[in-house]
Amino acid sequence: MRRVRAAVTEAPGAPFTVRDADLDDPRPHDVLVRMTAVGICHTDLGMRDTWPRRLTPMVFGHEGAGCVEAVGGEVTGAAPGDRVCLTFASCGACEPCAAGHPAYCLDARSLNFSGGRADGTTPLSLDGAPLHAGFFGQSSFATYAVVHERGVIKVPADLPAEVAAPLGCGAQTGAGTVLNRLRPEPGSSLVVLGAGGVGLSAVMAAVAVGCDPVVAVDPVPSRRALATELGAGAALAPGDGLVAALRDLTGGGAHHVVETTGRPEMARRAVGALRPRGELALLGLGGEVTFDVMALLAKGVRVHGVIEGDSDPGRFVPELIDLRRRGLFPLDALVTTFPFEEIGAAVAAMEDGSVVKPVLAFT
């Protein structure tokens, strides 16, 4: 048992409150990680606000990075002292996992969103009572986390922790959608709706593989400016006339549109912005979307639903690190750091649009 500091959510929609808690020792296939940084993702906030009351109090956080402190007796892929980032949990044995698509693991819900381990227990406790955890297999809004070895990816020792952290979710979601699922040809046009951390990761990946033009759409001027700094040929506000402007910029319609906002009206506009036989990737968490089926049929549109960039993190995260090393994936430009104890300020900065990717740093 280890004493930790954790950002606890007491009830659905409640703010994060940093409290002392207790963390179990690692089980045979677990890795104990001392957190050095953790990214904040819109998924943390969306899930916090809709989380079942019966699974509170709860610790969220799913973009952890840190140093391995100890490993269980059957762990083979990590050792004390390794620098790591953390990613989503998967079983490793079902058909999607075996095929290299662990984001679609058949046990994903119980491993990532059950508020604990697959056996119903939780590694955290608060004042002697169970504290729900295991969010994306990690619950990394804490000074330490116990993670199954499949959720641990070794990273170079010289990679800054604040850059390693977003690789586990936001960066691989945006970049993976482009590189793993859409796989655009050089010179093809690609539009990204929403220039947050996920959307700008998609922009960087599209620029890296030679898409032309790459166009970003976002209501926040600073994010549009950052998109152009990262290589987008144009960045537009989502006002009236957006579809016509996108069709004009892409020579009659985009080959690919990546929709990260989760807003139904943006998904419908995305279809209008595509050229015949174009492809739409839906990434944003949202509710029901209705499409005019004839519009899809007439254009031959292909619609992709994508989770975690359809990534195999053990393979794909090192590829992103290599792209960054070569100057083709400048993830650092998205990051603003905050002390862990100032998680409330970091959340507020992300919600008002002044920060793209807030990352909490542990001292």
Tell me, yes or no, whether 156 and 23 share the same domain: yes
Residue segments in the chain with a per-residue pLDDT below the cut of 50: none
Around Cβ 296, how many Cβ atoms within 10 Å?
15
The predicted pLDDT at position 363 comes to: 83
Provide the phi-psi class of 202: left if phi over 0, else alpha when psi is between -120 and 50, else beta: alpha
Q: Is residue 131 in some structural domain?
A: yes
The predicted pLDDT at position 95 comes to: 98
Tell me, yes or no, whether 244 and 162 share the same domain: no
In angstroms, the CA 247 to CA 86 distance is 39
Q: Is residue 314 in some structural domain?
A: no
Tell me, yes or no, whether 144 and 189 share the same domain: no
Q: Is residue 316 in some structural domain?
A: no
Query: Per the confidence metrics, is the pTM higher than 0.85?
Result: yes
CB 59 within 8 A of CB 135: yes
Q: Is residue 320 in some structural domain?
A: no
Tell me, yes or no, whether 75 and 129 share the same domain: yes
Tell me, yes or no, whether 119 and 195 share the same domain: no
Tell me, yes or no, whether 342 and 249 share the same domain: no
Q: Is residue 232 in some structural domain?
A: yes
Tell me, yes or no, whether 198 and 130 share the same domain: no
The predicted pLDDT at position 118 comes to: 83
The pLDDT tens digits for 29-54 are 999 999 999 999 999 999 999 999 99
Tell me, yes or no, whether 236 and 352 share the same domain: no
What sign does the dihedral 6-10-14-17 (CA atoms) show?
Answer: negative
The pLDDT tens digits for 284-337 are 887 888 888 988 999 999 999 999 999 999 999 999 999 999 999 999 999 999
Tell me, yes or no, whether 299 and 186 share the same domain: yes
Q: Where are the alpha helices (DSSP H) in the chain?
A: 42-50, 95-98, 108-112, 161-167, 170-176, 197-208, 221-229, 242-249, 264-273, 293-299, 313-325, 343-351
Structure tokens at 82: 């390794």
Q: Which structural domain, as residue segments, surrounds residue 256? A: 171-308
Q: Is residue 317 in some structural domain?
A: no
Q: What's the domain count of the chain?
A: 2
